[in-house]
Amino acid sequence: MRPEETKEKRETVAFVIPLYNEEEVFPMLFREIEAFRRAHPDVTEVVFIDDGSADGTAERVRALTEGRPGYVLLRFSRNFGHQLAITAGMNFVTADAAVILDGDLQDPLTVVEEMIARWREGYDVVYGVRREREGDDFLKRTTARLFYRFFQRITDIDAPLDAGDFRLVSRAVLDAYRQMEEQQPYVRGLIAWLGFNQIGVEYVRPARAAGTSKYPIRKAMQLALDGIASFSSRPLRYAVRIGVGVAMLSVVGLIWVLLAKYVFHNTIPGWTSIIFVAFFFGGLQLFFLGVVGSYLARVYDEVKARPRYVIRERWTSKAPGPGREREADSTVVRIRER
């Protein structure tokens, strides 16, 4: 056998799949993964991250994957959030590439096939671009569209439009990603920031196969704000600019007030304008205090340097054969990797 052939054979792919209360959809997901793996034996590792589910997600994972090769379940000690679940999975896998996908089958495996093909052509990052979102309502579609465009304007990184976390990343990217230990990682932004050879594949995003969204509008907003705060300090600069603008305006106001008093002798108190000014500037000041505060809070989080997530259990599906029993049910509390 020629050496290139062996290399081609040895290049393996892992799946990284976060699960938060996904017991309903898991059996469908599992069936699709099994079918995919039968056609693609290069998928040697499937890592599920149970992000503190309160339902029977972990039990389902164990019951269905038990005895089959290559399944791993990392259980968080509580809900740490989607982005950290992905991060834990990416930091855990040992394969030559990892595909990050949602557990609700909104990231179709047919697209994964294409991603793997592009990666074999030499790309390091193959991200999915949502050409259409069948599954999402009008509000989610439009806010997401607006957000990706706003994000691109406000930051200096070249983040692709309409791409979520559904993507394949090569070993080189995984190793680089490992070094980024942000407390609140915005994964798609960090990967864009890393560079390498990136390419998108378009797909139509179907509706969730079962269960309900685990991303209420509040969480989605938080993700958007995290993304902006971690890649742009422009909101702080806007505060300065608006502050300067308002100060200049107040000089005009002062001139007007002085003229009214000493030239026109017309100083009947204007209640409306005073109230308006009080509300307007009160609001503006609080808003920018909040902006400054949110950056400060991020700094505070980084300084505390707590573990980003806690894995209370690592479970490995026992493939038939000796020597794997020890690994099952081992309890791992992983402190922030340094």
Residues that bind Mg ion (CB under 5 A): 102, 104, 106, 208
Give yes or no for a contact between 27 and 280, defined as CB atoms under 8 angstroms apart. no
Give yes or no for a contact between 133 and 140, defined as CB atoms under 8 angstroms apart. yes
Stretch that binds ligand UDP, among 59-67, 166-174, 191-199, 206-214 (CB under 6 A): 206-214
According to CB under 6 A, which one of 40, 79, 182, 232 is a site residue for ligand UDP? 79
- Identify what 18 binds: ligand UDP, Mg ion, none; CB under 5 to 8 Å per kind: ligand UDP
The minimum distance between CB 250 and ligand UDP, in angstroms, equals 44
Give yes or no for a contact between 14 and 94, defined as CB atoms under 8 angstroms apart. yes
According to CB under 6 A, which one of 197, 213, 222, 294 is a site residue for ligand UDP? 213
Q: What is the SS3 assignment for 160?
A: coil
Hey, what are 105's tokens? 């089958």
Closest to Mg ion by CB, 57 or 106: 106
From the list 338, 239, 335, the residue with the least C-alpha distance to 295 is 239
Examine residue 91 and tell whether it contacts ligand UDP (CB under 6 A): no
Closest to ligand UDP by CB, 11 or 32: 32
DSSP of 170-232, one letter per residue?
EHHHHHHHHT---SS--HHHHHHHH-SSEEEEEEEE---SSS--S--HHHHHHHHHHHHHHH-
Closest to ligand UDP by CB, 206 or 288: 206
From the list 95, 60, 79, 94, the residue with the least C-alpha distance to 18 is 79
According to CB under 6 A, which one of 18, 128, 185, 189 is a site residue for ligand UDP? 18
Stretch that binds ligand UDP, among 18-26, 91-99, 119-127, 192-200 (CB under 6 A): 18-26
49 backbone dihedrals φ, ψ, rounded to 5°: -115, 115
The minimum distance between CB 281 and Mg ion, in angstroms, equals 42
| Count of alpha carbons within 13 angstroms of residue 145, beta-carbon side | 10
According to CB under 6 A, which one of 23, 45, 96, 104 is a site residue for ligand UDP? 104
The minimum distance between CB 152 and ligand UDP, in angstroms, equals 20
Examine residue 130 and tell whether it contacts ligand UDP (CB under 6 A): no
Place of tokens 């269905």: 64
Residues that bind ligand UDP (CB under 6 A): 18-20, 22, 51, 79, 81-82, 85, 102-104, 106, 208, 213-215
